[in-house]
Each structure stands twice: as C-alpha cells, then as structure tokens.
Amino acid sequence: MSTYYKHKRTASVDIPYSFTCEQCMKDSGTLSATIEVDATINSNHRELEANKDEKLKNNVHAKLVREVKSAHQNATENQIFIKAFKDKCPHCQQPQSWAVSGLKDDMFTWPIALVIIGVVVGLGCYFFTEVENNMMIAIIAAGVCFALAIATLIFNMLRISNKKKKTSTSLQKNVPVIDWGAVSNLLNEE
C-alpha cells in the first residue's frame, strides 16, 4: 500500500488602498488588502521532486495572477470590491457603502453550493441505500440541504440589508482609492 503526501504552497500579495469615510469624512490612511491563494499537489514522496515543485509554484502563481486580475477588473469596471478591501473606518468604525457590492457579488455562492450538495446527497441516498424507504431518506437528506441553502440566502440578504441601512445615512458616496501599481507586475502578465 503506497502513501501519498499532500504538498501545499501559498502565495499572497498586499494591495495598498485608502478611502475617505462616508460618515466622519476622515481619511483612513493607507490600508492593505491581502489576496491569498493556495495550490496543492499529491506525491508519493515526502519531499517534492524538482519538476513537481516547479509545477506547484507555477500553479499557485497562476491562481494569484487570476485572482488579482479578477479583483482589478471587478473594481475598475463594475465597482465591485472584494472582501479583502475592508470597509470599516479606523476612526468611527462605520461601514462604507462601496462594500455592499462585494456582499452582493458573494450572496449566492454558498446557497448554490448547498443546493448542489442537496441534489447529490438526495440522489446518492435514493440510488445507493438498500432500505425499504429510500425515497423518504433521499427527500429528507435533500430537504435538509435545501433548507440550509434557503437559510444561508436569507442570512446573506439580512447582512446586505443591515449594511445598506448602516450606510444609507451618508450623504456622500465614496469609493476606495486602490494603488494597483503595487501589483502591476501581476496585472501585466499574460
């Protein structure tokens, strides 16, 4: 019986940004958004061979470039800011209206995953359980996942509503000033 080792590599980049608070009108100062990705590879050896290590480095770097380019495109073209750009003012601790777009962008991620899991678990229970009432077990298993998906969606909608309510009193709507020059080497890669 052979043993497999999972090798993991992480890469991250810090993107400086700042914003003027919509509530107290003070400058946040330079803050840092960290984008972090990881990649894994399996091997039969405790130490990774040179070619697999190079492949792992390339994979994690490619993932980092993809994430940075995606964050840049969403921020510049669609005014959607990822969660790494923290919106809490360091002076008054109030959230900013520009962060609502990041919550909206991420609202359906977990509910969709839970629905897919519910379908897979329901089908698995129906086809692979050798009991008399396998249809009832499948419906219950899928129903639990669907209920969790609905609860997660409602929770996400409440978070967005709460943040909108907190930021609705501000008269001036600002966006963060992001220094994309700090990651221009990643943005310019093909």
Mean pLDDT by runs of 10 across the 190 residues of the chain is: 79 94 90 93 82 88 94 90 88 86 79 92 86 86 92 91 79 87 87
Q: Other CB atoms closer than 10 Å to residue 88's CB: what's the count?
A: 14
Q: What is the pLDDT of residue 71?
A: 93
Number of domains into which the chain is organized: 2
91 and 102 in a single domain? The answer is no
54 and 125 in a single domain? The answer is no
130 and 74 in a single domain? The answer is no
50 and 5 in a single domain? The answer is yes
Instruction: Write out the two tokens for 21.
Output: 């608070």
31 and 64 in a single domain? The answer is yes
Contact 166, 145 (CB under 8 A): no
Domain that holds residue 117: 97-169
4 and 48 in a single domain? The answer is yes
Q: What is the pLDDT of residue 163?
A: 80
181 and 149 in a single domain? The answer is no
